[in-house]
Amino acid sequence: MSRQDVKQSAAAPTGVAPARLSRAGLVAAGSVVLLEACWLVAALPGAALVSDLGGMLVAGWATLACIGVARRHPVPLRRFWTLLALTMGLAAIGRAIWTVQRLVGGDLPHTPVVGVVFTAGILTGTAALLSSPSAPRTAVGRARTLLDGVIVALALVPIGWVLVFRGIAAAELADPARTLGLLFPMFDLMQLTILVAVSGPARPMWRPMTVLAASLTLRVVADVVYVSLVVRADYTAGHPIDLCWPLSYLLIGLATRNPPPPDCDGTDDTAESPLPPWWRVALPYLPVGGAIIAVVLARRPTGQTPLLVFVTMMVLLAALALRQGLAANENLRLVARLRLLAYGDQLTGLPNRLLFNRRLRLALRDGRPVAVLLLDLDGFKQVNDRFGHATGDTLLTGLAARMHTAVNGDGTIARLGGDEFAVLVDGDRPVSPERLAERLLDALRPSDDEEDVGVHPSASIGIAEYGPQHASHTDLLRDADIAMYAAKAAGKSAYRTCTAALRESAVSRAELIADLRRAVDEDQLHLEFQPIVDLTTGAVRSAEALVRWRHPRLGMLPPAKFLPLAEETGLILPIDRWVIHEACRAAATWRGRVPEATVAVNIAAAHLRRPDLIATVTAATSAVGLAPRALTLELTESALIEGTEAVLERLHQLRELGIRIAIDDFGTGYSSLSYLHRIPATELKIDRSFVARLGTDDRAYATVEMVTRLAGAFDLAVVAEGVETERQHEAVTAIGCPRGQGYLYGRPDAPAMVGQNRS
Ligand code: C2E
Ligand code: MG
Ligand code: MG
């Protein structure tokens, strides 16, 4: 025998035998029910005993089936099956006592002992339903469900009274055990209500619960028919209706044959529980309405309400009150949770923008002196990009906690969204907003080990204090925003308070951007040309195009006043495109007079990164029939250093077209000379800061000399920029610099100079 066989034969007795046994049990129980059915329907002699024995046997089998499944199913289901086993066991024992007492007494034995056993069965059955896998998990939820059942059961008493009990002699009702016997349909309906209530509306019902519902329904029918027969004194033991009881036990035994539900351990909380349908909520209250009508109908001719009905209604009132109490309590808890959801930030737990704005508006309405701190984390986006959102979230939570501690109750800190936070400093102000900003910056400074990791954003804080210039909370927040941007511009880990000047500059900045958008379309841009002089001959054969903005209100603006804004907003692209076209047009006209005339145009770093630069340039030259070699593009050192491989490739393409490339402001960037090898430049423009110091500073002289030599060695043309004085002119000529540009030769002006000689 192989090892595999040994394993299988060892496993067989534990695995196969119970399955076979349980199938045999089911067949036996089914046969008992079938036999009893034939017996009762055919009204054979001894039907009463057969009925009792049948009930006992099937209940006993169901008990064993429940015990068996309780041992096999996972722990959370164990209580459910154990309670059902107990219920079936009590049913079997109850039946046995009933049989004995009936055989001895000869009458229907509604005795206290039987009453106690059956009542215990009702309690365990109800407890089983309340511990089913779909039942509420909280004690309050279970209490609420139980109360729903109890309310339905109690409401059924007055209804039952009007429909059934009224005909019963008062003497019979004086015996509690007998009365209890008549109340069983009520308990059945209570259990059915609970079952409907606990069967969650979300997922498909667990099969055993459906089978249990069928079993309970069968018992409702049996008990109602039984009670009405008993009341009319039409019942004899062994009546065909008796069949319903073993059938209902059989169904419970059948229910054990289903597998446990997939999420019975309660760990699956991904499924959102949908709201129950209205009828399920209203279910317990429908019978209450019936009960109220029944109470009116149940009054005796004497005007008295029967004692049973009266007591039940009192208990029903108490149950309703308790149920309302639970509902109110739960509503309060739900409202608190909703508030937390609506006004809280889910990640950090801080108040969110909604709550912050609300508090701010409230404070302003009450006329309290408030200040707002707006805090933005610098460099948080890079953390997210480099390390992923999970790391970003963890970092954000940690920083939020540190800031919360730093504020320490001297204000309300909220997360407005993303990496933006705000603090509201309110009322009597135990601390100045500036002090609070310092505390926040201190709290955010990285500890030594955090510094090592290198993942630590700093913060910029803008402060705005409420004043008469603010019409609403949005004005105040806008001012804080202005101050925050000023803090960002001042460098990292800084705070700024919004002042009138700051506000004004921010406002004019915004206006200027809006104006700049129109400038190109409305023809407000204007080019000036500054001559570039051949120092050996004094001839002017070239000029640099320099853009100006004729602002409708502010007059002529130099590039420094609007190009930084244009670069920030991307408006530099249409501006540069316009300049290229205009410069080419001008150069084309010059060449009519002076065939060797050329023009130089400045190109922004942003433009260099655009693939369409080449198309723009070729379109401009071919539109006016300008030879590409008549156009020089001036690029700053920094723009070239930042350039990627694609930029380098683009420069080579431009060179292949014949377009010349000058490195502008040469010597001001912190570049190594090695990039001169890679960049296909044709010209160096020595920055005017060196030229300006030529007569006074030996090192400046040496620099200009060295660059001129270097250019010669690299076969590059050289231009000395910013020549203002004769002394500077002599120096650059003595050094041997071939070309010069500066106020001495000509200010940027109309292009008439090209073609003339320097006088
Ligand atoms: P840049 O390319 O170095 O242009 C030379 C700047 O020096 C011009 O200033 C010119 O007026 C000034 N300049 C010329 N000679 C002298 C002198 O002897 N002494 C002094 N102190 N300054 C002199 P501008 O026109 O204000 O232009 C400033 C910068 O703006 C330019 O520097 C250039 O980088 C940029 N720029 C000008 N026009 C354009 C344009 O159309 N497109 C782009 N992207 N940038 C432009
Ligand atoms: Mg230039
Ligand atoms: Mg320059």
What would the DSSP string read from start to end of 540-575? EEEEEEEEEEEETTTEEE-HHHHHHHHHHHTTHHHH
What local confidence, expressed as pLDDT, does residue 186 receive? 84
What local confidence, expressed as pLDDT, does residue 2 receive? 44
Atom of ligand 1 nearest to the CA of 607: 44
Whose CA is closest to atom 46 on ligand 1? 602
User: DSSP state, 752?
Assistant: G
Q: Where is pLDDT greater, at 44 or 456?
A: 44
Least confidently predicted of 39-48, 147-156, 291-300, 674-683: 291-300
Average pLDDT, stretch 219-225? 89
Average pLDDT, stretch 277-298? 82
Phi and psi at residue 516, to the nearest 5°: -65, -35
What local confidence, expressed as pLDDT, does residue 17 receive? 62
Whose CA is closest to atom 12 on ligand 1? 722
637 Cα to the center of ligand 2, angstroms? 11
d(CA 586, CA 318): 99
pLDDT digits (tens, 9 = 90+) for 693-702: 998 899 999 9
User: Which ligand ends up closest to the CA of 639?
Assistant: 1
Whose CA is closest to atom 33 on ligand 1? 602
Which residues, 6 or more positions from 393, have their beta carbon under 8 angstroms from its beta carbon? 347
Atom of ligand 1 nearest to the CA of 527: 41
Angle at which helix 47-72 crosses helix 75-105, to 10 degrees, equals 160
What local confidence, expressed as pLDDT, does residue 573 receive? 92
Task: Give the number of residues written for the chain.
Answer: 759
C-beta of 743 in contact with ligand 1 (< 6 A) = yes
User: DSSP state, 74?
Assistant: -
**Helix, strand or coil, per DSSP, at residue 686:** strand
Q: How confident is the model at residue 8 (pLDDT cuts 50, 70, 90)?
A: very low
79 CB neighbour count, 10 Å cutoff: 15
**Helix, strand or coil, per DSSP, at residue 351:** strand
Average pLDDT, stretch 294-303? 78
What local confidence, expressed as pLDDT, does residue 671 receive? 63
Give the chain's mean pLDDT: 86
pLDDT digits (tens, 9 = 90+) for 521-531: 899 999 999 99
C-beta of 722 in contact with ligand 1 (< 6 A) = yes
By CB neighbour count within 10 A (0-12 exposed, 13-18 middle, 19+ buried), where does 470 fall? middle
C-beta of 748 in contact with ligand 1 (< 6 A) = yes
Q: How confident is the model at residue 663 (pLDDT cuts 50, 70, 90)?
A: very high
Structure tokens at 495: 């705070």
pLDDT digits (tens, 9 = 90+) for 77-89: 899 999 999 999 9
Average pLDDT, stretch 649-657? 94
User: Which ligand ends up closest to the CA of 748?
Assistant: 1
C-beta of 530 in contact with ligand 1 (< 6 A) = yes
Least confidently predicted of 113-122, 241-250, 304-313, 374-383: 304-313
Average pLDDT, stretch 153-173? 74
What local confidence, expressed as pLDDT, does residue 5 receive? 43
The residue to mutate among 571, 578, 602, 729, having the most atoms of ligand 1 within 8 angstroms of its beta carbon, is 602
pLDDT digits (tens, 9 = 90+) for 713-735: 999 999 999 999 999 999 999 99
Q: How confident is the model at residue 117 (pLDDT cuts 50, 70, 90)?
A: very high
C-beta of 742 in contact with ligand 1 (< 6 A) = yes
What local confidence, expressed as pLDDT, does residue 455 receive? 66
Atom of ligand 1 nearest to the CA of 741: 15
d(CA 213, CA 198): 11
User: Which ligand ends up closest to the CA of 530?
Assistant: 1
Atom of ligand 1 nearest to the CA of 721: 15
Dmax over CA atoms of the chain, in Å, equals 146
How far is CA 59 from its chain centroid? Answer: 53
Q: Where is pLDDT greater, at 576 or 504?
A: 576
Partnered with residue 709 across adjacent β-strands are none
d(CA 142, CA 151): 14
What local confidence, expressed as pLDDT, does residue 327 receive? 87
Whose CA is closest to atom 43 on ligand 1? 602
pLDDT digits (tens, 9 = 90+) for 416-475: 998 999 999 986 777 899 999 999 999 998 877 666 566 677 899 999 998 888 878 899
d(CA 528, CA 540): 15
pTM, two decimals, is 0.54
Q: How confident is the model at residue 366 (pLDDT cuts 50, 70, 90)?
A: confident
714 Cα to the center of ligand 2, angstroms? 21
Least confidently predicted of 260-269, 308-317, 395-404: 260-269
Q: Where is pLDDT greater, at 656 or 41?
A: 656
pLDDT digits (tens, 9 = 90+) for 377-413: 988 887 887 888 888 899 899 999 999 999 998 999 9
- Res 44 pLDDT > 90: no
**Helix, strand or coil, per DSSP, at residue 280:** helix
C-beta of 531 in contact with ligand 1 (< 6 A) = no
C-beta of 665 in contact with ligand 1 (< 6 A) = yes
- Res 415 pLDDT > 80: yes
108 Cα to the center of ligand 2, angstroms? 116
Q: Would strands 371-378 and 458-465 be described as parallel, antiparallel, or unpaired?
A: antiparallel
714 Cα to the center of ligand 1, angstroms? 25
Nearest Cα to Cα of residue 243 among 55, 447, 468, 43:
55
Count of H helices and E strands in the chain?
A: 30, 14
Domains annotated on the chain, with CATH: 18-256+285-330 (1.20.1070), 353-498 (3.30.70.270), 516-753 (3.20.20.450)
Helices within 594-668 (DSSP H only): 605-608, 613-624, 637-642, 645-657
